[in-house]
Amino acid sequence: MELVKLEIKGFKSFGDKVIINFDNGITGIVGPNGCGKSNVVDAIRWVLGEQKTRMLRSEKMENIIFNGTKNRKALQMAEVSLTFNNTKNLLPTEYSQVTITRRYYRSGESEYLLNNVTCRLKDITNLFLDTGIASNSYAIIELKMVDDILNDKDNSRRALFEEAAGISKFKIRKKETLRKLSGTDDDLERVEDLLFEIE
C-alpha cells in the first residue's frame, strides 16, 4: 500500500489548495522555519482521525482552519484528503484506490468521506486497523515521539510493538465490548429497580 497524494485546502497555513503527489522513492519537504512543513504532517494525522488538538499543535479544533493573513480573509472550512493505492488489497475494501477525506467547519460540524461517500470516523479507523496507519501509529513519527519512545513514556514502546504485532485491533475491540457490557449492566440494574417498584 502506498500513499498516492495528499490534498490540503483551508487547513492551518494552507489557504490555497495544495496537492502533494507522492511519487516513487522518498518525498522530502524542505523550507524555511515556520513555512508550514510540520503542518503537512499535522494534515495527515488529522485526516486519519486525530481528535486531540494537542497532537495537532493547536489549542482548539477551530484553530486548524486557515485563519487568514494581512491580505486574505479567514476560511470557513478545512478539508484534507489522503489517497492510497490499494492494488495489493491490504485495506479490506474492493477499491484499488482509496481516498479518505475529513472536513471541519467553523460551526463545529465535521464530515468524513471514504471515496467521496459520507461515512463515520469509525469506518475509517476500522479500515486502517492493523495496517500501521492511524493518527497515533508509528507511521507518523515526529521529533517529540522519538524522545517519548526512547524514554518509554506512557509505555509507548509497548504500544508500538503491539501495533506492529497486530494486537492493538483486539485491544480496541475488547475495550469496546467491555464498554457495551458495562452499559448492559447499568440497563439490567435499572430493570431490577423497576421490577422492585412494581412488586
> Which residue, 142 or 162, is less far from ligand ATP as judged by CB?
142
Q: Which three cell numbers stand for residue 127?
A: 479500515
Q: Is residue 106 within the footprint of ligand ATP (CB under 6 A)?
A: no
Q: Is 126 annotated as a binding residue?
A: no
Whether 182 has a binding-site annotation, put simply, is no
Residue 42 Cβ, how far from ligand ATP at the closest point, in Å? 7
Q: Which of 21, 27, 51, 63 binds ligand ATP (CB under 6 A)?
A: 63
99 part of the interface to ligand ATP, by CB under 6 A: no
Nearer Cβ to ligand ATP, position 27 or 87? 27
DSSP string of 18-43? EEEE--SS------STTSSHHHHHHH
Residue 12 interacts with ligand ATP (CB under 6 A): yes or no: yes
Considering the rule CB under 6 A, would residue 67 count as an interface residue with ligand ATP?
yes
User: Quick one: which segment of 61-69, 103-111, 132-140, 164-172 binds ligand ATP (CB under 6 A)?
Assistant: 61-69
Residue 112 contacts ligand ATP per CB under 6 A: no
CB 85 within 8 Å of CB 4? yes
Report the DSSP beta bridge partners of residue 164: none
| Residues facing 9 on adjacent strands | 79
Strand order in the sheet with 110-114: 18-21, 2-9, 77-85, 97-105, 110-114, 117-119
- The grid cell for 103 is 472536513
- Listed residue (194, 134, 199) closest to 160, CA to CA: 134
Quote the least distance from Cβ 83 to ligand ATP, whole Å. 21
119 marked ligand binding residue: no
**Quick one: residue 132, left, alpha or beta (phi over 0 = left, psi -120 to 50 = alpha)?**
left
Q: From the CB of 136, what's the least distance to ligand ATP, in Å?
A: 19
